[in-house]
Amino acid sequence: MARKPVHPNLYGARLRALRHHRKLSLVQLAQRSSVDKSTISYLERGLRTGTVELVSKLCRGLGVTLADFYAGLEGWQGPVELQRAQARVASYVVAERGMSLQHLTTSVLGKPFLPALLDLAPGGSTLQEALRPGTMKFCYLFEGQLVVDLNDQKHGIGTGDSIFFDAALPHTITNPGSTTARAIVIVSPPAL
């Protein structure tokens, strides 16, 4: 029988409860586990996924085993999760690059993909990234124009166009147009 996914709120709540039970601040757990305090905060709020390596570090810092950490967290009945616009809190703005990225869900852990809304000002661009092998990216452009520079090959897309590519390859997305470009970007599996 297949195991049900762990709901991100349960996962984050478990992490926070263990940290509080041990009377540790974010800074203290960060020092004990060698994990950045902002990463721990994102994990506790269900805004970031945790790799086995990352969770192992946190477990060592908390003094628990992986088995103990995950025990009883299989209870999420899913798969429906309604996300209200006002509940979204993960938004990243890189003003000097003319970029804004807003996660369209607050609970990325345990989901097969991460949807985000990308706004790029005229001349704006994303930072160059190359995600872990096996990660795919899909981009659908609602308005404006974009150029996806994928492994030094440029792919122009216009309103209504989409592109799907291997996100492990080095890539940037730029707006060569004179108006703001708005797109939905989906990363699978979620990678932050």
Tokens standing for residue 14: 């478990």
Kindly report, residue by residue over 43-100, the tens digit of the pLDDT. 888 777 677 788 889 989 998 887 777 765 554 445 566 777 776 666 777 888 899 8
Quote the pTM value: 0.59
Give percent helix, percent strand, percent coil of the chain, each to the nearest 5.
30, 30, 45
Could you tell me the CA-to-CA distances from 43 to 48, 118, 165 in Å, in that order? 5, 22, 27
pLDDT at 16: 84
- All CATH 2.60.120.10 domain ranges of the chain, comma separated, are 85-188
Confidence (pLDDT) at 88: 62
Write out pLDDT tens, residues 26-40.
Answer: 999 999 999 999 888
According to the model, what pLDDT value does residue 180 have? 97
Rounded Cα distance between 86 and 90, Å, is: 11
Domain 8-75 has CATH 1.10.260.40: yes
The top-level CATH class assigned to 85-188 is: mainly beta
In one-letter notation, the amino acid at residue 140 is: Y
Structure tokens at 186: 């989906």
Statement: residue 4 has pLDDT above 50? no
Mean pLDDT of the chain: 82
Residue 163 backbone phi and psi in degrees, to 5: -145, 140
pLDDT for the residue numbered 133: 80
All CATH 1.10.260.40 domain ranges of the chain, comma separated, are 8-75
Q: Does residue 108 register a pLDDT over 70? A: no
Residue 185's beta-bridge partner residues?
116, 139
